[in-house]
């Protein structure tokens, strides 16, 4: 079965997200660990989390994906902001242990003029301070489009971060289709080539989740504006090839398309129908 879901609001708690996912035909989802612009996270209600874990087990959910706050910048020029990022992620990872064995994704950071090498150094430094051998959460670096001074704009930069992290078995990658397309990787005409490049530089075993988005902009535009499935320059055919690719089809696919819940339900239905894996499972 295709593992697919979308970004959901955390405001009504964990159990509510599980029920909402079921109501739109999803068997995974993404959520913010706290306000995307930062700030204090709500206290965890263990009963609420236990209810979600029951739903996930009963309905064979794929791993779910927490997304860190956008303000978290591991490679800010300002040491105070780096300290804030470190504390925020460390706190998020403590909370993630209520949901054992799932995924936590973050934007590597913006080097704000210090250069990618300095940024990469600081990001790895933060991860080495935070990661714990006993944690069950896998921390994912998101592939970025390269707008502004984003670090992680190509596979080489992500590889360079991983090379400097000590507990690399706690690390993985979340590939955002809009971001890599805008970053210059031609998912439309050369999906195999892009995945080969990923495999050679990073290793496909490190790929743990896909942000499945179309793009409003063109290849290598370095813009990062998401479009609905089939409503952008990646297009439905290429997206269907992505969900059915043998190297990808077991991964959780998370939609971050501009949609209300009903729009997500439609995209999930469309993609389930286009998934070869779904039809095989009926035989
Ligand atoms: Fe993201
Ligand atoms: Fe994304
Ligand atoms: Zn984006």
Q: Which of 2-16, 37-51, 205-219 has the lowest mean pLDDT?
A: 37-51
**What does the pLDDT read at residue 41?**
87
Q: Which two tokens stand for residue 175?
A: 């590939």
Q: How far is 183 from 221, CA to CA, in rounded Å?
A: 7
Max Cα–Cα distance, the chain, nearest Å: 57
Rounded CA separation 29/264 (Å): 11
pLDDT in tens, 22-48: 999 999 999 999 888 877 888 899 999
State the distance from the centre of ligand 2 to the C-alpha of 177, rounded, in angstroms.
8
**DSSP state letter for 28:** E
pTM of the model: 0.96
Identify residues whose C-beta is under 5 A from ligand 3, the ion: 224
Q: What integer is the mean pLDDT of 193-210?
A: 98
- The mean of the pLDDT values for the chain is 96
Helix 14-23 to helix 46-58 angle, to the nearest 10 degrees? 30
3-state class of 143 per DSSP? Answer: coil
In whole angstroms, give the CA distance from residue 142 to residue 107.
Answer: 5
Calculate how far, in angstroms, residue 176's C-alpha sits from the geometric centre of ligand 3: 7
Specify the 3-state DSSP secondary structure of 56: helix
**pLDDT band, very low/low/confident/very high, at 261 (cuts 50, 70, 90):** very high
Given a cut of 70, whether residue 252 has pLDDT beyond it is: yes
63-99 pLDDT, tens digit each:
999 999 999 999 999 999 999 999 999 999 999 999 9
Contact 226, 257 (CB under 8 A): yes
Q: How far is the CA of 212 from the centre of ligand 3 (A)?
A: 10
Task: Give the pLDDT of residue 35.
Answer: 84
The HSE-up count of residue 66 (CA atoms within 13 Å, CB side) is: 26
Cα-to-centroid distance, 283 and ligand 1 (Å): 36
Cα 143 to averaged position of ligand 3 atoms, centre (Å): 9
127-167 pLDDT per residue, tens: 999 999 999 999 999 999 999 999 999 999 999 999 999 99
Q: What is the mean pLDDT of residues 217-237?
A: 98
Q: Choose among 41, 37, 52, 39: nearest CA to 11.
A: 41
What confidence score (pLDDT) does residue 277 get? 61
Interval between CA 183 and ligand 1 midpoint (Å): 14
Measure Cα distances from 199 to 171, 192, 248 in Å.
15, 10, 12
For helices 191-201 and 235-244, the axis angle rounded to 10 degrees is 50
Give 283's pLDDT tier (boundaries 50, 70, 90): very low
Neighbours of ion ligand 1 (CB under 5 A): 142
| pLDDT grade for 170, boundaries at 50, 70 and 90 | very high
| 96 C-alpha to ligand 1 centroid (Å) | 17
Q: Find the 124 Cα to ligand 2 centroid distance in Å.
A: 20
Residue 282's CB is within 10 A of a number of other CB atoms, namely 6
- Of the bound ligands, which one is closest to the alpha carbon of residue 36? 1
Confidence bin at 260 (pLDDT 50/70/90): very high
Looking at 72-216, list the stretches that DSSP marks H as alpha helix, in order from N- to C-terminal side: 79-96, 116-130, 155-164, 177-182, 191-201
- How far does residue 176's CA lie from ligand 2's centre (Å)? 5
State which residues have CB under 5 angstroms from ligand 2, the bound ion: 176, 211
pLDDT of residue 282: 46
Nearest residue to 209 (alpha-carbon basis) of 263, 154, 259, 255: 255
What is the mean pLDDT of the segment spanning 40-57? 95
Domains of the chain: 3-281 (3.20.20.150)
């Amino acid at each position: 079965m295709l593992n697919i879901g979308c970004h959901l609001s955390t405001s009504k708690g964990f159990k509510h997200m599980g029920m909402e996912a079921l109501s739109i035909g999803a068997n995974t989802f993404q959520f913010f660990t706290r306000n995307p612009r930062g700030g204090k996270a709500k206290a965890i209600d263990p009963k609420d989390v236990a209810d979600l874990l029951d739903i996930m087990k009963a309905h064979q959910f794929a791993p779910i994906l927490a997304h860190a706050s956008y303000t978290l910048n591991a490679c800010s020029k300002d040491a105070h902001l780096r300290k804030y990022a470190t504390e925020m992620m460390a706190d998020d990872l403590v909370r993630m242990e209520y949901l054992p064995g799932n995924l936590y994704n973050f934007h590597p950071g913006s080097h704000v003029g210090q250069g990618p090498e300095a940024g990469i150094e600081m990001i790895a430094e933060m991860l080495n301070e935070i990661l714990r051998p006993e944690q069950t959460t896998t921390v994912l670096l998101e592939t970025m489009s390269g707008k502004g001074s984003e670090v992680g704009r190509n596979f080489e930069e992500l590889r360079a971060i991983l090379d400097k992290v000590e507990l690399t078995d706690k690390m993985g990658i979340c590939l955002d289709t809009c971001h890599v397309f805008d970053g210059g990787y031609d998912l439309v005409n050369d999906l195999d080539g892009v995945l080969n490049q990923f495999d050679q530089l990073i290793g496909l075993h490190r790929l743990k989740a896909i942000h499945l988005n179309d793009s409003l902009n063109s290849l290598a535009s370095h813009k990062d504006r998401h479009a609905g499935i089939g409503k952008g320059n990646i297009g439905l055919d290429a997206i269907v090839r992505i969900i059915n690719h043998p190297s990808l089809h077991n991964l959780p696919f998370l939609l971050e398309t501009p949609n209300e819940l009903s729009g997500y339900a439609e995209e999930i239905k469309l993609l389930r129908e286009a998934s070869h894996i779904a039809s095989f499972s009926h035989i």
